[in-house]
Amino acid sequence: MQEIYKTIQRYIGSQREPMTALWEELVNTESGVRQIAGVNAVRDILRREMERAGISTRVVPMENAGDFLIGEWNLESGKAPVLLIGHMDTVFSEGAAAANPFRIDEAGMAHGPGVLDMKGGLVVALYAVKALMEAGWKERPVKFLLAGDEENLHMFSNAKDVLAAESVGAIAAFNFEVGRIQEQKDQFVIGRSGGGPASITVHGVAAHSGNAPQDGRSAILEAAHKIVEIESGNDIARGRLINCGVVQGGMGANTIPDTCTITMGVRFPSSEIGREILDILKRAVSHHTVPDTTAELDDSKIMHCMDTTDGVMRLFQHLRTTAAACGFGEVSSCRVGGLSDSGVTVSSGVPTVCGMGPWGAGSHTAEEYANVESLFRRCVLAACAIYDLQDGFGHEA
């Protein structure tokens, strides 16, 4: 096995320049989440690189977002695939790359919009598979699942459904999101909060507030009752949060409002608490205080929680064992509050370890940077971990 590790290490060592060049090309190709053409330009770059390496590709078009890219290799093995997941979009506005292009400073840190979150991780994932090819590994299929709109939680697409459907039956998943380091110890993410936006729309009956107030049924008044009910269900100590952050309704002071929308942000640390939140919201729309009012809930944009399941812990222990065996060094695990598509794969029954990309700091800011050496080190670790992946991480019910 040590010889295989050395083969992988030698290959990655020989590919430092093309890996860096691809990283630069991706960062300098703007792909803000609403820059759909830019996201699809990143898709085309990755598709080009995959197909050059012998990885077949499929594109799932998205009408109002960047497309979803799927890469598949070694399907003929017939075994359960390992998933490599990530996203091609960033949070940055048009012009960010021109103002802050890719560069590497004297301290060995790479800079540029999306250099850390998560274009470096895309390079790591691709070259990990290329290293496996170099090592002659064909044990099981590998499937890339790359979304085009993760940064806005797939608000305008069905990418979550595509990811869930394509994940079915996989043995494990590695998400190449932002890597983490704490006191010089590499950390990998084994749990993430769930949450996102939800809304309740209340319908009442409009009427002139001076001439016929008795005919009106105030949607805003009903919304107020619901807000009090909903927020009384918060349990901050347990991480159960529903924030009614925006309320919109009415057309003027002399008209009883017939509609009102409550836009909420929800957060939860576990699927159990997520279900409690959903119960609170469903209960709030199931009854009314103001007569003749109705309401409906839209919870379709809430992201799944990445629960720390037994399967997730087995996969992390496998990663830890591999890290020690291949010379990567000591690793640890952590839970984080930020959302990611790892919640979708874990909720689909696929053990997942997140944060496999290079480490750095400043995500979502102009000061974002990534440690260049970590790009290559984590690529070696990912390839070795996939190489050693044995049955035993099976699909969870």
Question: How high is the pLDDT of residue 184?
Answer: 65
Q: Phi then psi for 343, rounded to 5 degrees?
A: -65, -35
Tell me whether residue 397 is in a domain: no
If asked whether residues 221 and 286 sit together in one domain, one would say yes
Tell me whether residue 339 is in a domain: yes
If asked whether residues 249 and 346 sit together in one domain, one would say no
Q: Phi then psi for 124, rounded to 5 degrees?
A: -60, -50
Residue 234's CB is within 10 A of a number of other CB atoms, namely: 14
Domain residues for the domain of 37 are 2-192+306-387
Question: How high is the pLDDT of residue 393?
Answer: 52
If asked whether residues 292 and 333 sit together in one domain, one would say no
If asked whether residues 251 and 265 sit together in one domain, one would say yes
Residue 78's CB is within 10 A of a number of other CB atoms, namely: 8
Question: How high is the pLDDT of residue 183?
Answer: 65
Q: Rg (Cα) of the chain, in Å, rounded?
A: 24
If asked whether residues 289 and 368 sit together in one domain, one would say no
Question: How high is the pLDDT of residue 394?
Answer: 39
Domain boundary among 268, 298, 328: 298
If asked whether residues 266 and 369 sit together in one domain, one would say no
Tell me whether residue 118 is in a domain: yes
DSSP reduced 3-state for 184 = coil
If asked whether residues 18 and 146 sit together in one domain, one would say yes
Question: Is this structure's pTM higher than 0.85?
Answer: yes
Domain boundary among 298, 316, 351: 298
If asked whether residues 211 and 182 sit together in one domain, one would say no
One digit per residue, the tens of pLDDT, for the chain of length 397 reads 688 899 999 999 999 999 999 999 999 999 999 999 999 999 999 999 999 999 999 999 999 999 999 999 999 998 999 999 999 999 999 999 999 999 999 999 999 999 999 999 999 999 999 999 999 999 999 999 999 999 999 999 999 999 999 999 999 999 999 998 876 679 999 999 999 999 999 999 999 999 999 999 999 999 999 999 999 999 999 999 999 999 999 999 999 999 999 999 999 999 999 999 999 999 999 999 999 999 999 999 999 999 999 999 999 999 999 999 999 999 999 999 889 999 999 999 999 999 999 999 999 999 999 999 999 999 999 999 999 898 765 334 3
If asked whether residues 93 and 122 sit together in one domain, one would say yes
Tell me whether residue 395 is in a domain: no
Residue 19's CATH number: 3.40.630.10
If asked whether residues 152 and 36 sit together in one domain, one would say yes
If asked whether residues 8 and 155 sit together in one domain, one would say yes
Tell me whether residue 396 is in a domain: no
If asked whether residues 222 and 363 sit together in one domain, one would say no
Domain boundary among 276, 298, 320: 298
Question: How high is the pLDDT of residue 178?
Answer: 95
Count of domains for the chain = 2
Question: How high is the pLDDT of residue 96?
Answer: 96
Tell me whether residue 12 is in a domain: yes
